[in-house]
Amino acid sequence: MTLDICVMTHAKDPDRPRQAVDGLYLCHGHREQLRRLVAEMPARADDLDRAAGVGGGRGDGTHGGIAIDDAAATHRQHMAGVLASWCRLVAEDRGITPPTGPELSRTAPWLLTHVDWCAAHRWVDEMLTELRQVTGQAMGIADIPARRVPLGEQCLTHTGGERCEGEVTIVVRGDDWTAVCTVCDEKQEATPYLRAVQAGRWINTEGVITLARMVGIAASNDVVRQWHHRRRIKGRDDGRQKLYELGSVQAYLALRQAERERMSA
Ligand SMILES: [Zn+2]
Ligand SMILES: [Zn+2]
């Protein structure tokens, strides 16, 4: 029996078979995706709590938050149930002790150590599909809108010595900026792809304007100078040009984006 073709469908070039990782039913990208989905399940559930106002200062339930609170709580339970049931399957099949409780904080780390074992079974496509679904639903309910900005930059990932041919899209979700490749499905650091990014994560004025445009904020040289002047973003002068600290720019843009969404809500 050879297990050398990934069993998942691939967005780009679906007819081209992808080499699976040795002994697994998944390619490198899908194995990483599975790992990430499991690892991030508790964080996605926390997003739901935030959306529902638990500890977020929106919890008195008198201003129309009830519907989303219900949906969030129900889905949180559903997520925990899904992960617990995959844990049960693994524990029974392997004859090992299951996690000590059904909470995501216990099941996710436990399941993470068995990801490759799962990926060596043909049913792993069901698992990956289900985890994608519950994660996508969680994001929808938490309503942290994602903006996708195709960059047209070639993916920097190398597999087996060859550079991936995919193009990268930047996904901006609140203050979380990631790069996603159309081919390898890899979620990556956004920084290397942002044009005009300098070593040490400093960007020039043009870089700030590009980032602002990506989240729908129109900025100009003057506006960027103003932001710096009003200490919204950190900057310095390297003698040739003004440079701005990427982290402070991302944080400020996320804030502006959140403000705007509150106003339009
Ligand atoms: Zn694959
Ligand atoms: Zn790629």
Ligand nearest to the backbone CA of 34? 1
Contact by Cβ (8 Å): 179, 189: yes
Domain ranges of the chain: 1-144, 145-189, 194-264
Ligand nearest to the backbone CA of 16? 1
Window from 22-26, 92-96, 119-123, 147-151 with minimum mean pLDDT: 147-151
Window from 9-13, 148-152, 160-164, 202-206 with minimum mean pLDDT: 148-152
The predicted model gives 140-166 an average pLDDT of 77
Query: DSSP of the chain, one letter per residue?
Result: ----B--S--SSSTTS--BPPTTSSS-HHHHHHHHHHHHHHHHHHHHHHHHHTTTTT-TTS-SS-HHHHHHHHHHHHHHHHHHHHHHHHHHHHHT-PPPSSSSHHHHHHHHHTTHHHHHTSTTHHHHHHHHHHHHHHHHHHHT--EEEEEEEEEP--EETTEE---EEEEEEETTEEEEEETTT--EEESGGGSTTEETTTEEEHHHHHHHHHHTT----HHHHHHHHHTTSS-EEE-SSSEEEEHHHHHHHHHHHHHHHHHHH-
HSE-CB of 61 using CA atoms within 13 angstroms: 5
Higher pLDDT, 108 or 218: 108
CATH code given to domain 194-264: 1.10.10
- Condensed to tens digits (0 to 9), the pLDDT of residues 226-260 reads 999 999 999 988 788 888 888 888 888 888 877 77
Q: pTM (2 decimals)?
A: 0.56
Contact by Cβ (8 Å): 172, 165: no
Structure tokens at 207: 């870089």
CA of 170 from ligand 2 middle (Å) equals 13
The predicted model gives 71-83 an average pLDDT of 92
The predicted model gives 174-181 an average pLDDT of 75
What integer pLDDT is reported at residue 62 of this predicted model?
A: 37
What integer pLDDT is reported at residue 132 of this predicted model?
A: 93
Ligand nearest to the backbone CA of 21? 1
What integer pLDDT is reported at residue 144 of this predicted model?
A: 62
CA of 219 from ligand 2 middle (Å) equals 31
CA of 171 from ligand 2 middle (Å) equals 15
What integer pLDDT is reported at residue 86 of this predicted model?
A: 98
Higher pLDDT, 171 or 199: 171
The amino acid at 191: T
Percent of the chain with pLDDT over 90: 39
Higher pLDDT, 24 or 156: 24
CA of 211 from ligand 1 middle (Å) equals 31
CA of 4 from ligand 1 middle (Å) equals 11
pLDDT-derived band at 99 (thresholds 50, 70, 90) equals very high
The predicted model gives 11-18 an average pLDDT of 82
Percent of the chain with pLDDT over 70: 83
What integer pLDDT is reported at residue 151 of this predicted model?
A: 67
CA of 250 from ligand 1 middle (Å) equals 31
- Condensed to tens digits (0 to 9), the pLDDT of residues 38-71 reads 999 999 998 887 666 543 333 333 334 455 577 7
